[in-house]
């Protein structure tokens, strides 16, 4: 199946608010907590959505999935159901995917393990604030993680638009049609890590314990 396109959406932006880097000796971990302001131009969102899925917000079986890499991991996708036809603003759109229960809480295995926490969302008018935390540690119990072990960490803010197609009476298959995002579609490499151009990111090894400053949140280019 052809991969769905990724498109930069006019008016979709992120703005760093605050952050901290902390040590968690009991878990052998280092972790950051950050707050970002997520912005979306609802008019442009509707126009672009209708290009790929005509009448997108009016169909109860259509769905949405937020892509929040570096911030949080959403388990699946959120169908509109009864909200269809009543999604008329950023706030009503954000309400579809901001329940903490939709997000992972726990460690992801690997040589360097990482742990997402359930994010905290706050809707203020047309703005969405997210406070999120991610921790890192080595899988090897005898190896203590240090700041110099941290890599480039990009922050994503994107929305994947989904239709559900009935293959059989009892089988419904979700199909991703497009992912709308604040970054550009071009990819660049930063210290060997592939990042979308325009993405906000931090260079983990350049941080120190305590506050993360606005100057430390860089733009991939």
Could you report the per-residue pLDDT of 38-80, keeping only the tens digit for each? Answer: 999 999 999 999 999 999 999 999 999 999 999 999 999 999 9
Could you report the per-residue pLDDT of 123-163, keeping only the tens digit for each? Answer: 999 999 999 999 999 999 999 999 999 999 999 999 999 99
Interatomic CA distance for residues 124 and 60, integer angstroms: 26
For strand 158-168 and strand 106-108, is the pairing parallel, antiparallel, or unpaired?
unpaired
Interatomic CA distance for residues 145 and 135, integer angstroms: 11
Q: What is the mean pLDDT of residues 215-219?
A: 97
- The upper half-sphere exposure of residue 118, i.e. CA atoms within 13 Å in the direction of its Cβ, equals 8
**pLDDT of the residue at 197:** 97
Asked whether the whole model's pTM tops 0.85, one would answer: yes
Q: What is the mean pLDDT of residues 79-100?
A: 97
- For the four alpha carbons of 53, 56, 60 and 63, in that order, the dihedral sign comes to positive
Q: What is the CA radius of gyration of the chain?
A: 18
**pLDDT of the residue at 3:** 65
Q: How many other CB atoms are found less than 10 A from the CB of residue 92?
A: 14
Interatomic CA distance for residues 99 and 66, integer angstroms: 12
């Amino acid at each position: 199946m052809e991969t769905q396109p990724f498109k930069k959406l006019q008016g979709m932006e992120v703005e760093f608010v605050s952050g901290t880097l902390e040590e968690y000796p009991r878990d052998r971990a280092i972790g950051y907590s950050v707050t970002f302001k997520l912005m979306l131009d609802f008019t442009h969102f509707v126009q672009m959505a209708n290009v790929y899925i005509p009448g997108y917000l009016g169909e109860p079986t259509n769905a949405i999935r937020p892509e929040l890499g570096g911030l949080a991991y959403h388990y699946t996708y959120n169908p509109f159901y009864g909200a269809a036809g009543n999604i008329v603003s950023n706030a009503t759109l954000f309400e579809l995917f901001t329940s903490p229960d939709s997000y992972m809480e726990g460690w992801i295995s690997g040589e360097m393990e990482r742990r997402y926490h359930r994010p905290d969302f706050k809707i203020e008018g047309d703005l969405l604030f997210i406070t999120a935390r991610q921790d890192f540690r080595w899988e090897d119990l005898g190896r203590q993680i240090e700041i110099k072990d941290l890599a480039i960490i990009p922050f994503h803010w994107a929305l994947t638009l989904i239709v559900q197609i009935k293959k059989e009476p009892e089988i419904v298959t979700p199909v991703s049609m497009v992912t709308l995002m604040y970054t550009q579609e071009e990819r660049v490499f930063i210290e060997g890590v592939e990042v979308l151009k325009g993405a906000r990111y931090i260079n983990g090894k350049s941080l120190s314990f305590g506050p993360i400053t606005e100057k430390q949140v860089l733009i991939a280019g």
